[in-house]
């Protein structure tokens, strides 16, 4: 019996046509070797887009095309999935790039070559893709991992409160790390270390950008983080957990005022991280306990992130905070009523260096009520969010201000089933308030209120659906009050023996700016999906937008996309 071998390959380059050639070469093998369980599965999608706008600057490329596909070849336990994609847009934040990554695995050995992603913990290495070499070993209950590579970032987007977002060149960032652990069920013990540093000999910000963004913002940086995670499960109901991280961070690796280590510091530590006058060490972590009884849960969690805790190998998260929260999840009335919530306290200014200290009650709660299959009700509330995902827009390494976000939400869905006529009613209401607590510069509070109602009518025999809707939106910020309200209509119809699904839609909104008329905004959309066979489809989407404004610029915008998809 041959051991299973996995080999995952990802490619982003114009040679996506190689997937198609690979399919053509292996298809005869698949047919000829069916008795040996040779299988070939996958898909390929090709498309193009046309874009035009009048009245404002282009927000997309005038034209572009894209190719994407995936294919999986399997034979006697050998599996090779290949995926690839390419888009030739040359506008805004789009730029030409090629990526290649392969992650073959055999039994408990996995190798990463090229572009890969390995997660250690939220406080060390998390959510970042690197280019280099990585190794993961999972013999039984043990785990070992090591990696070395770099974060390639040809265009960095730096955001400031005064100058907004700008594209500037940045240093090439290198990474190396290792992790060792033991796992048994939900119990674990893990130790990890990650070293991230900027290449002083590579590309660097030039001109006046350093003066523009301020001291230590665009300087080369170095970061060493050491993490410890542990978990213990007792009686399959009681769970203890702890996740910690210690970060040594240097804001300017070119600073010449180095710190001299004493004899009490081990010699190997001096080689791993050389501190200077811009260096600092900070701690972060969380821990707690959960008790689970059937589908119900109660728990306690403590979380602390020291001021200036910085980690270049993880997604951005807010620092200088301490939280104590209690968690619960309860099912009632045969799971028709579900309650989930957290309640606790939070405060900042852990080192008492700030001029102000913020203390508040934090919590979130959600109630879902499903009295029948026809009616679904949901109510939610939250007033704290401490983490954010890593996207194109990256904030600077530390926050310059603190915000407190409060959200309220209500949604209801009611369906009337029927053989000839089916009806549906949906209602949603959301209110989001962001409170500015800046000490140096006030950005102003932001209030967003949205409410909408939609109705769906489906004529089953005619394969026809109609969806009218009404919407109301209000935005308040910096003494500005913007309101938008209007209605929409969407019609869906199946044609040509149900092979063609046609959707026509339109929306019209009336805009107000500080109580005064600000014109209208509207859009018309057409979407058609034709299925030649269950594995071959053609999709055409067109959107035309008209914005008539008195305060801002008026414009007309048009976008059309055509895609062809083939599965095999």
Q: Residue 354: which of 249, 440, 251, 445 has the closest Cα?
A: 440
Q: What does pTM read for this prediction?
A: 0.70
Q: State pLDDT tens for residues 186-216.
A: 899 999 999 999 888 876 666 565 555 556 6
pLDDT of residue 259: 81
Q: CA 304, CA 315: separation in Å to the nearest integer?
A: 17
What's the CA gap between 84 and 525, in Å, rounded?
A: 29
Residue owning tokens 């114009």? 14
Q: Are 397 and 173 in contact (CB under 8 A)?
A: no
With a CB cutoff of 8 Å and minimum separation 6, the contacts of 143 are 136, 137, 179, 180, 181, 182, 183, 190
Predicted local confidence at residue 75, as pLDDT: 72
Half-sphere exposure of 240 (CA within 13 A, CB side): 5
Please report the pLDDT score of residue 93 as a whole number: 34
Task: Give the per-residue pLDDT at 29.
Answer: 46
- Measure the CA–CA gap between 47 and 485, rounded to whole angstroms: 35
Per-residue pLDDT, 499: 93
DSSP string, 515-531: TEEEEEEEEEEEEEEEE
106-114 contact pairs (CB < 8 A, 24+): 106/3, 106/4, 106/5, 106/6, 107/3, 107/4, 108/137, 108/138, 108/139, 108/140, 109/135, 109/136, 109/137, 110/6, 110/135, 110/136, 110/137, 110/138, 111/135, 111/136, 112/136, 112/147, 114/10
Sequence-distant (≥ 6) Cβ neighbours of residue 509 within 8 angstroms: 471, 484, 485, 486, 520, 521, 522
Q: What is the mean pLDDT of each run of 10 residues along the chain (568 residues)?
A: 46 45 48 59 89 85 80 68 62 43 79 84 87 92 94 52 53 91 92 91 65 67 93 92 93 83 69 83 93 91 91 79 93 90 89 79 92 93 57 33 71 92 94 67 74 94 94 88 94 93 96 90 96 94 93 90 93
Helix (H, G, I), strand (E, B) or coil at 255: coil
Residue 388, pLDDT score: 37
pLDDT computed for residue 165 by the predictor: 47
Query: Looking only at Cα atoms, what is the longest distance across the chain?
Result: 85
Q: How far apart are CA 356 and CA 436, in angstroms?
A: 13
């Amino acid at each position: 019996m041959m051991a299973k071998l996995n080999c995952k390959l990802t490619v982003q380059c114009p040679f996506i046509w190689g997937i198609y050639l690979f399919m053509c070469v292996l298809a005869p093998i698949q047919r000829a070797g069916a008795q040996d369980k040779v299988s070939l599965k996958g898909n390929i999608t090709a498309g193009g887009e046309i874009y035009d706008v009048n009245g404002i600057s282009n927000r997309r490329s005038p034209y572009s095309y894209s190719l994407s596909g995936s294919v999986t070849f399997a034979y006697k336990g050998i599996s090779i999935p290949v995926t690839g994609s390419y888009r030739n847009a040359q506008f805004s934040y789009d730029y030409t790039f090629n990526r290649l990554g392969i992650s073959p695995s055999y039994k408990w050995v996995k190798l990463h070559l090229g572009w890969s992603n390995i997660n250690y913990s939220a406080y060390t290495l998390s959510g970042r893709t690197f280019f280099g070499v990585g190794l993961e070993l999972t013999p039984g209950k043990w785990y070992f991992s090591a990696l070395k590579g770099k974060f390639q970032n040809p265009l960095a987007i730096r955001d400031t409160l005064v100058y907004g977002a700008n594209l500037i060149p940045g240093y090439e960032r290198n990474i190396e790390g290792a992790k060792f652990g033991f796992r048994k069920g939900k119990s674990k013990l893990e130790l990890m270390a990650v070293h991230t540093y900027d290449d002083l000999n590579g590309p660097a910000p030039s001109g006046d950008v350093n003066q523009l963004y301020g001291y230590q913002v665009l300087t080369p940086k170095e970061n060493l983080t050491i993490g410890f995670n542990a978990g213990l499960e007792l009686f399959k109901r009681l769970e203890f957990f702890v996740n910690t991280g210690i970060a040594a961070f240097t804001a300017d690796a070119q600073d010449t005022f180095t710190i001299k280590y004493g004899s009490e510091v081990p010699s190997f530590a001096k080689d791993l991280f050389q501190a200077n006058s811009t260096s600092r060490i900070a701690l972060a972590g969380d821990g707690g306990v959960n008790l689970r009884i059937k589908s119900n849960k109660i728990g306690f969690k403590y979380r602390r992130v020291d001021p200036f805790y910085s980690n270049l190998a993880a997604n951005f998260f807010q620092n200088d905070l301490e939280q104590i929260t209690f968690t619960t999840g309860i099912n009632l009335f045969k799971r028709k009523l579900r309650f989930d919530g957290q309640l606790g306290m939070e405060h900042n200014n852990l080192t008492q260096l700030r001029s102000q200290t913020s203390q508040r009650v934090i919590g979130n709660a959600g109630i879902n009520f499903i009295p029948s299959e026809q009616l679904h009700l949901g109510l939610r509330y939250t007033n704290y969010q401490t983490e954010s995902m890593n996207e194109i827009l990256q904030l600077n390494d530390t926050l310059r201000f603190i915000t407190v976000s409060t959200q309220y939400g209500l949604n209801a869905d009611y369906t009337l089933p029927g053989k000839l006529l089916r009806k549906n009613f949906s209602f949603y209401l959301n209110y989001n308030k962001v409170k500015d607590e800046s000490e140096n510069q006030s950005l102003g509070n932001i209030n967003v209120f949205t409410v909408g109602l939609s109705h769906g009518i489906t004529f089953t025999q005619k394969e026809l659906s109609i969806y009218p809707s009404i919407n109301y939106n209000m935005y308040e910020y910096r003494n500005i009050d913007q309101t938008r309200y209007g209605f929409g209509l969407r019609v869906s119809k199946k044609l040509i023996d149900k092979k063609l699904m046609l959707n026509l839609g339109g929306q019209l909104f009336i805009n107000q700016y500080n109580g005064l008329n600000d014109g209208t905004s509207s859009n018309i959309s057409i979407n058609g999906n034709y299925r030649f066979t269950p594995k071959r489809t053609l999709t055409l989407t067109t959107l035309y937008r008209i914005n008539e404004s008195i305060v801002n610029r008026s414009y007309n915008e048009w976008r059309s996309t055509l895609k062809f998809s083939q599965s095999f």
